[in-house]
Amino acid sequence: MQLRQLGRSGLTVPPLAFGGNVFGWTVGEADAFSLLDAMVDAGLNFIDTADVYSRWAPGNRGGESEVIIGKWLARSGKRDKVVIATKVGMEMGPGAVGLAPSYIARAVEDSLARLQTDYIDLYQSHRDDPDTPLTDTLGAYGKLRDQGKVRAIGASNYTAQRLSEALILSERNNLPRYESIQPEYNLYAREPYESGLQAVAVAQGVGTINYYALASGFLSGKYRSAADAAKSVRGRKIVDTYLNDRGRRILAALDEAVETTGATHTQVALAWTMAQPGITSPIASATSLQQLDDLVAATRLTLPAEVLRKLDEASAWKTSPR
For 180, the enclosing helix (H) or strand (E) is strand 178-182
H-state helical runs in 77-133: 101-115
Annotated catalytic residue, options 53, 103, 185, 193:
53
Query: CA Rg, the chain, in Å?
Result: 19
- Residue 55 CA to residue 48 CA, distance in Å, equals 16
**Residue among 188, 159, 132 at smallest CA distance from 311:** 188
Neighbours of 148 (CB within 10 A): 9
Handedness of CA 105, 106, 110, 111 (dihedral sign): negative
DSSP 8-state class, residue 99: -
**Residue among 32, 5, 3 at smallest CA distance from 20:** 32
CA dihedral 266, 269, 273, 275 (to 10 degrees): 100
119 is catalytic: no
Neighbours of 161 (CB within 10 A): 11
User: Bridge-partner residues for 123, per DSSP?
Assistant: 86, 153
- Residue 279 CA to residue 210 CA, distance in Å, equals 8
Q: Which residues are marked as active site? A: 53
